[in-house]
């Protein structure tokens, strides 16, 4: 059927504050003066993939694996994450998760990963800055991938919507990062795919 339709991760749901996973708010916000977007995307991915709960992030006695992730994230809080640093933060969960950087046919493989119930951490560059976002789904227009549905830790959640930004015109030179506050030209720098080792599922279509 032509027109627009959306597919999202099977564990993604929605509440009044926006994206939810396992009945907990999913979006994590970074500060305006830090460079912790990548670390926040790692934590959101871990929550959506069922490896940690939101409550666990605030416990005084952290799980050993989460302590490792937090320590790496804190070390990079004001300097930002490379793709290697992103992969290192998933390493404590390597028995449960598979993680790899996409290097060839990146745009098509990103869509395929999202369709298979994985998530993708996408780093893009705009005219003013570089930034990581977490892709959780795909918007199709007339049967073709048009936009990635992303959670951007720099932006507020959108009520009753399981994403808060778009990577529009995905796979074309017209790529734009679009959110409730602005829309800007962008180029993709890196994509890191993460998913469960135990199964390769299927993303769900939104009604």
User: What digits encode the pLDDT tens for the residues 146-181?
Assistant: 999 999 999 999 999 999 999 999 999 999 999 999
Q: What is the pLDDT of residues 149-158, one digit of tens each?
A: 999 999 999 9
Task: Provide the domain limits for residue 57.
Answer: 4-205
pLDDT score of 206: 80
Higher pLDDT, 7 or 207: 7
pLDDT score of 205: 86
Count how many domains the chain has. Answer: 1
pLDDT score of 207: 57
CA distance 137 to 152: 13
CA distance 55 to 79: 26
Global pTM reads 0.95
3-state secondary structure of 65: helix
CA distance 80 to 106: 22
Q: What is the CATH number of the domain that holds 57?
A: 3.90.70
* CA-based radius of gyration for the chain: 16
């Amino acid at each position: 059927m032509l027109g627009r339709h959306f597919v999202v991760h099977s564990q993604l749901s929605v509440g009044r504050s926006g994206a939810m996973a396992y009945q907990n708010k999913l979006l994590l916000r970074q500060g305006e003066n830090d460079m912790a977007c990548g670390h926040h995307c790692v934590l959101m991915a871990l929550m959506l993939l069922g490896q940690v709960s939101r409550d666990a992030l605030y416990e005084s006695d952290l799980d050993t694996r989460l302590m490792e992730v937090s320590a790496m994230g804190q070390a990079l809080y004001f300097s930002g994450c490379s793709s290697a640093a992103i992969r290192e933060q998933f390493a404590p969960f390597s028995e449960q998760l598979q993680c790899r950087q996409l290097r060839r046919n990146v745009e098509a493989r990103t869509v395929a990963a999202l369709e298979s119930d994985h998530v993708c951490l996408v780093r893009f560059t705009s005219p003013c800055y570089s930034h990581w976002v977490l892709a959780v789904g795909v918007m199709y227009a007339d049967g073709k991938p048009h936009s990635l549905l992303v959670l951007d830790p720099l932006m507020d959640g959108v009520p009753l919507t399981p994403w808060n930004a778009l990577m529009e015109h995905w796979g074309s030179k017209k790529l734009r990062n679009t959110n409730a506050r602005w829309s800007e030209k962008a180029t993709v720098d890196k994509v890191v795919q993460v998913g469960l080792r135990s199964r390769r599922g299927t993303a769900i279509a939104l009604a």
